[in-house]
Chains A and B, each alone.
Chain A
Amino acid sequence: MTTAVDRPVLEVLELRKHFPIGRLLSRQRGMVRAVEDVSFSIARGEVLSLVGESGSGKTTVGRTVMRLIEPTGGQIRFRGEDITHLSRRALRPVRRHMQLVFQDPFSSLNPRQTVETILSTPLRVHKVGSSHAGRRALVEDALRRVGLFAAAADRFPHEFSGGQRQRIGIARALMLEPDLLVADEPVSALDVSVQAQVVNLLLDLRDQLQLSMLFIAHDLALVGAISDRVAVLYLGRLVEIAPTTALFSSPRHPYTEALLSAVTDPGRAGAAAARIILQGDLPSPIAPPSGCAFRTRCRYAVAACAEAVPPLRVRAPGHFAACIRDDLSLSSPLADPA
């Protein structure tokens, strides 16, 4: 369990991030509990997806794990090392092993730099490659690896389409051969026909490089195509985490059930009748409901749900859910004959 081989690349323990809110110069009025008691781990070569609606805290988890946002509490262990409180200076050598791919391929590349400059910056920062020619060779290798031509190095970002730019963003993240890739909605800005290309590229790279990935997304069907395991966030808390197929075919949390039911599918015409439509919106994270935060929209809620925050409990091997209603048998679109 603790040998170097099967130790998880990333371990997150009871991660918390609270943002103070209130008018400038006035007494602090409240706290947004953006992330509360989130724990998970990612093994070498594993893809874990973090799904949830906007405001669920999924991006905050991704950024906190990378120490781009300081956590309020909890622990982040990367390759066995506790990095929660490392200084900026001590963090720098760690950072080269964890890289981020952004959602928007338009704003995340400097329009004034050539692709070569963009891709070689991480090399220069971390003093990889002794000469200009050596770095140029690494840049060209990286471009070929993501399916672009070596000559792309001399061009500027505006000369590329959205899908190609996202490939450049992925190439940049891979320049330092990281162990962990945090991909925050990396394909949601792309057209459907191009989205599939980029997802396939990420899967190929994972297989070739034994990359571990934290894949942040809102589209469950897309998540199904890429992840080994899925974690569902609701108002900053994990409500369910399980292997992808288990989560999809037998969800154990009513929120997961509703999310699965809301997935549209070109082959599922007429499924609208059977759809579970959640009432209302995500409650305010400033004043979340007492007890289970989902109870205000949950069709199975009982009085006991308001009493205490339900803990994540084992429901099947590797399958955890935070719901006190053990008696429910929840539905899944995968169980439908259609």
Chain B
Amino acid sequence: MADIAHGHDDHGHGHGPVNPAVEVIQHPKPSLYWLTYAILFVLLIVTVVLYYIDLSAATRWVGMNFVVAMIVAVIKAGFVVYNFMNVRGSTKLTWLWAVLGFVWLMLMAGIFIDYRNRPSQGGWEQPFVRY
């Protein structure tokens, strides 16, 4: 089945008449995948270890553990998107769509901040009134 397509750099895209206005998708080598996997695994261990380290007490801010855990998760997701989902070699239009997903999450964050700032939620300054 050698006739399955290959879209690899080293197989030369230049044979046919390629319209220069069309972007070509580049595919990375498998070694990059293994490297990404190793990084992701290390970050997984970091995530679990973070659970046992009380950064909040060390930094005197209660949200510290959460923020650091989320930063690690975002880095992990970034590696998956950039290398595994091959945004790195994709066209500008694909980049746009990948960024759009991020924009939506920012919108969600905006709604969250808005909601938490409302007086019915106690605003940012006062602790939330429990019942």
Asked whether A and B interact, the reply is: no
Binding site for B on A (CB under 8 A): none
